[in-house]
Structure 1
Amino acid sequence: MTGYDSGLMNPTTPSNGALLSVFEQHYAELVRYIARRTGSMEDARGLAHDTWLRIAERAPDPDAALADPRAYLFTVSHNVAMNHLRRGNWLQGYLAEREQIDGAAPAQAPDVAESAMYRQAVASVEAALAGLPARVRDTYLAHGLHGEKQVDIAARLGLSIDTVKRDIAQATRGIEQALHQWRHTSDKDKTAAARTGRRRSLAALLGVFAVGVTGTAVWQHLQRESMRFQATLATLRGRMLQRSLPDGSELTLDAQSRLDVDYTAARRLTRLHEGAAFFAVQRDETRPFVVQALGVEVTVLGTRFGVEIDGGRGVIVQVESGRVRVDAGGHSAELGAGQSLRISEAGQVLTRVARPAAWRQGELEFDAVPLADALARVARYAPAALRATPAAARLPISGKVRVAEANGWLASLPSVLPVRVERQPDGSIDIAHR
C-alpha cells in the first residue's frame, strides 16, 4: 500500500468518511457517554456499534457540510441510546400488561403465544374425555371426529336421536369446563372470554380434540403441529437482527448470517447455515434447544451461548453462562461458562474466552487465523469486497479489531504482515504478499 486512505471502508461518501474518522478518535469517550445514560457498559459498546452502522449507512450528501462533526456524532449516539431505553421501557410495560391480562408467558410474541399454550390445553382436554362415560365419549368421537351423522349413530347404537344429542352436549360441556379450568376463568368471565380472539382461535383448533382418547395419528399430529413454529432469518452486510422466539428465548443474528428455526412439540431446533448467532435460551426440560451447523450439534436446556461458522468453514461454540453439549464427528464435549471450542477438519481446540460472541459489541478477535478468514469476518460489515492473493491469504494473524475501526486495522496490516493494501476504483480492497 502506498499510503493510508481513511476512506478504505467507505470510499463513496467523503462526509461519512470524516464522521467515521471522528468516531474512531472519540470511541472510548463515546462508549462512556452512552454508558452514563444506559447504566450498562455492555449495552454501551453495542449501541456505539449501532451508532457506527447508522453513520456508515448515511446517505451520501456532498453538499451537506457539518460544522461540528463531533457534536453530530454525539447527537446520533444520544438518539440511539434514548431509542434503546424507550424500547426497553415499552417492552417491560407491554410484557407486564400481557402477563396481567391473560397470564401468557411474558416473553412470547402475541402471534405465537397461542402455540405455547396448546400443550397444556391438550392435556386438560384428554383428561376430560377420559373421565366421560364410554358411550358418551364414543358418541362424541363418532360425530366430532369421523363426521358420522347423529341419525346414523342412533341407529348403530340403538339409541334415540335425543339421547345422541344429549351425549354430545354432555361431552361438549365437560370439555368446555376443562378448558375454563385450564384458563382459570370463572363463570362470570366465560362470556367475555369467549369473545376474545385468542380463545376463539384455541377453540377452533380444539374443535376436533375429541380424538384424544382414541390415540389416533390425527390427534398425535395435532399435538405436534400445535407446537410447530418455523421461520428463516437472514441479515444483510452490516446488519444485525434481534428476535424473540416463541418459547421466550432470545436470538441475536450477526451480519451476513442465515439460520432456520424449527420448533416442534419434541424439540427446539435451529440450523445455522452461515455467519454467527447468539442464543439466550429459556429452560425447558421437555424440549431441548438444539443448534446445528456444518455437522456440529449443540444441545442445551437453558443457557447463553454463541455459534459461528468461520471463514475456514470451521464451527466455533462459545458459552457465556450455563453448559452446553457439543457433538461432532462421533465425539462429545461439554462446555461451561467462559469456554470456547473450535471444530474443524484439523480437529477440536478448547480455549478460554473472556467475552463470548464479542461481535455483539462490535468487536472481532483473531487468534493465529489465516488472513483470508479474518478478512472474510471483517467483510460482513464492509461496503465493498476485501480480497487477498493466495500467498497473502495464508499468512496468520492475531489480535482484536473493532468493526468501527476497521479502516485503521486494514491500514495497519503492512506494519504487521509482509503485505501491501490497495483500494480499487470500485471501492474493493486487494491485499497482496510483498
Structure 2
Amino acid sequence: MNPPAASTSALLSAFETHYTELIRYIARRTGNLEEARGLAHDTWLRIAERQGGAQDATPADPRAYLFTVSHNLAMNHLRRDQWMAGYLAECGQADAASPAQAPDVADTAMYRQALAVVEQALAGLAPRARDAYLACGLHGEKQADTAARLGVSLNTVERDIGQATRCIEDALHAWRHTPPAHARPKAAGRRRSLAALLGVFAVGATGTALWQHLQREARRFQTALSTLRGQRLQRSLPDGSELTLDAASRIEVDYDAAQRRVRLLDGAAFFAVRRDADRPFIVQARGVQVTVLGTRFGVEIDGGQGVLVQVESGRVRVDAWGRTQELGAGQGLRAHGGRTQLSDVARPAAWRQGEIAFDAVPLADALARVERYAPTPLRAAPGVAGLRISGKLRVADAGDWLASLPRVLPVRLKTLPDGGVEVAAR
C-alpha cells in the first residue's frame, strides 16, 4: 500500500530529526551501512521531489510515513540485487556449458559459408560504401578521417556505413532463410538483428578480421543516461557492473567485445566495475581518461569544470594531458587546466551518502555543485564568484547552507525574476 500524501516540509523536518535512526533501520534490512546511507539519501530525494508544499496537510505521523518510504526503497534495492545475482549465475552457467574447444567440422563449414556470403555482399556494394565500411569497421579509422580522405561529408560516410550494414544483414538473412530486418517489427533494431544472425556460429582460430568485427557489433551495447536536479539514478550494466549517477548528470555507455567505454558529459558518477581482463573499463571526461579492470571509484566534473577521480577500492590509471598516474584506495586526483593534484580521500564520492565537501573552492564552483539538488538556479555575482569557501554539508541541509552564507562571507542573497537566487556582494 502506498502511504497517503503528506506535507513535504513536515517530512523533510522528520528526516532531519530521525536521520541517524533511519540509517540504522535501513542497515538492518540491507546488511550494509554504505548502502543504507545511499538509500536514506534516495528517501530524502523522493520526498523532496513531491509536488506538494508546506501548505499541504501535515501527516498524523511523519516518522511512520518516512520509514515506510525507506522500507519500500530498501525492498526494491534487495529485489534488484537478487535479480542481478540470478542473472549473473545464469550467465556463468551458460559460459561453463559452452565448449572451449574449436568448432567441429559442421560448424566450421557453416562459418565458412557465412563468411563467403558476407564477402559477396561487400563485393556488391558501391566502392565508396565498401571503402568506408572496411576503413571504419575493420581498420579503426575515424569516420571524420574517412570523410576527409574520400572528400565527402561525415553524414555521407555514416549513410554509406549504414547501407553496408543493411546489405550484410539482408545477405545473411537470405542465406539463413529468415525474414530481413525491414520485414520484422521495428523494436528489433540493427544490433539485435545482427546479434541473432551471428549468435548461431562457433568462431574458431580461423576467424578473420571481418568476422571479428561482425562479432564485436553483435555484442555491442549502447545507452545514454541523464538525471534531473535532485534526482539520482542507479543502473546495472550488462557485464554486471553497477553505475550510480548523481543529480543533474549525463553519461553515455558504449560496450563492445573489446572494451567497455563510458563518457561522462556532466555531473558525477560512481562505478562498481566487474572485473574482465579481456575488456578494460574506460571512463572519459573532458580530456581525462580513467582505465580499470575491476574496482570501485567515482568520477566528477566539478563546478570549475575540472575532473575529480576518487578511488574507494582497487586501482585505476588516470591519463591526463600526456601524463599517467595510478591511484589506489583512498586516493583522489583533480585534473584541471593542464595540471593534476593528488589528495587523500576519506570518503570517495561522498555524494552517494548525501554529503558534499568543499576545500577552499571558489564560491561559484560551490554554488554550481549545490545547484544539482536545488529547486531553483543558484548564481554568484562576478564580484564574489572567486571567494573561497570550505566545509561539509548534507544535501538535505542545502537550503540552510545557502541561507548561512551571509554570516560567513561578505555577501547577500538576492531573489531573481526567474525564481533563482543570486549571491551578490554586500
In structure 1, give the amino acid aligned to 2:317.
R
Structure 1 unaligned regions, length at least 5 = 1-13, 107-113, 149-199
The alpha carbon displacement at 1:286 in A equals: 1.2
The alpha carbon displacement at 1:214 in A equals: 5.6
Output the CA distance in 2 between the equivalents of 1:261 and 1:146: 33
The residue aligned with 1:81 is: 70
Match of 2:298 among 294, 306, 310: 306
The residue aligned with 2:241 is: 249
Report the CA distance shift for 1:146/1:401 in structure 2 as closer, same or farther (over 3 A).
Answer: same
Conserved? CA contact 1:225–1:264, under 8 Å: yes
The residue aligned with 2:317 is: 325
The residue aligned with 1:146 is: 116
The alpha carbon displacement at 1:81 in A equals: 3.0
Output the CA distance in 2 between the equivalents of 1:366 and 1:215: 54
Output the CA distance in 1 between the equivalents of 2:110 and 2:16: 72
The residue aligned with 1:164 is: none
The alpha carbon displacement at 1:245 in A equals: 0.9
Output the CA distance in 2 between the equivalents of 1:226 and 1:411: 54
Farther off after superposition, 76-85 or 341-350 = 76-85
Output the CA distance in 2 between the equivalents of 1:290 and 1:122: 30
Output the CA distance in 1 between the equivalents of 2:206 and 2:87: 36
In structure 1, give the amino acid aligned to 2:51.
A
The alpha carbon displacement at 1:16 in A equals: 2.8
The residue aligned with 1:423 is: 415
Output the CA distance in 2 between the equivalents of 1:301 and 1:138: 33
Report the CA distance shift for 1:419/1:202 in structure 2 as closer, same or farther (over 3 A).
Answer: closer
Secondary structure at 1:379 match in 2: helix
The residue aligned with 1:235 is: 227
Match of 2:283 among 291, 299, 316: 291
Secondary structure at 1:390 match in 2: coil
The residue aligned with 1:104 is: 91
Equivalent residues in 2 for 1:213-228 (5 A)?
A: 215-228=207-220
Output the CA distance in 1 between the equivalents of 2:72 and 2:92: 25
Conserved? CA contact 1:145–1:210, under 8 Å: no
Pairing 1:128–2:103 present: yes
In structure 2, give the amino acid aligned to 1:104.
C
Conserved? CA contact 1:145–1:211, under 8 Å: no
Secondary structure at 1:128 match in 2: coil
The alpha carbon displacement at 1:264 in A equals: 1.4
Output the CA distance in 1 between the equivalents of 2:81 and 2:248: 30
The residue aligned with 2:164 is: none
Output the CA distance in 2 between the equivalents of 1:94 and 1:331: 41
Secondary structure at 1:81 match in 2: helix
Report the CA distance shift for 1:85/1:387 in structure 2 as closer, same or farther (over 3 A).
Answer: closer
Equivalent residues in 2 for 1:393-412 (5 A)?
A: 393-412=385-404
Output the CA distance in 2 between the equivalents of 1:26 and 1:320: 28
Question: Aligned residues, how many?
Answer: 347
Pairing 1:315–2:307 present: yes
Pairing 1:337–2:307 present: no
Output the CA distance in 2 between the equivalents of 1:63 and 1:433: 33
Structure 2 unaligned regions, length at least 5 = 1-5, 119-192
Conserved? CA contact 2:194–2:217, under 8 Å: no
Conserved? CA contact 2:9–2:53, under 8 Å: no
Conserved? CA contact 2:15–2:66, under 8 Å: no
The residue aligned with 1:49 is: 41
The alpha carbon displacement at 1:98 in A equals: 4.7
The residue aligned with 1:205 is: 198
TM-score computed with the length of structure 1 as normaliser: 0.72
In structure 2, give the amino acid aligned to 1:430.
E
Report the CA distance shift for 1:349/1:97 in structure 2 as closer, same or farther (over 3 A).
Answer: closer
The alpha carbon displacement at 1:138 in A equals: 8.5
In structure 2, give the amino acid aligned to 1:84.
L
Report the CA distance shift for 1:231/1:418 in structure 2 as closer, same or farther (over 3 A).
Answer: same
Report the CA distance shift for 1:346/1:26 in structure 2 as closer, same or farther (over 3 A).
Answer: farther
Structure with more contact order per residue of length (Cα contacts < 8 Å, sep ≥ 6): 1
Conserved? CA contact 1:275–1:310, under 8 Å: yes
The residue aligned with 1:276 is: 268
Farther off after superposition, 385-394 or 421-430 = 421-430
In structure 1, give the amino acid aligned to 2:235.
R
Q: What is the RMSD of the two structures over their aligned residues, measured on CA atoms?
A: 3.1
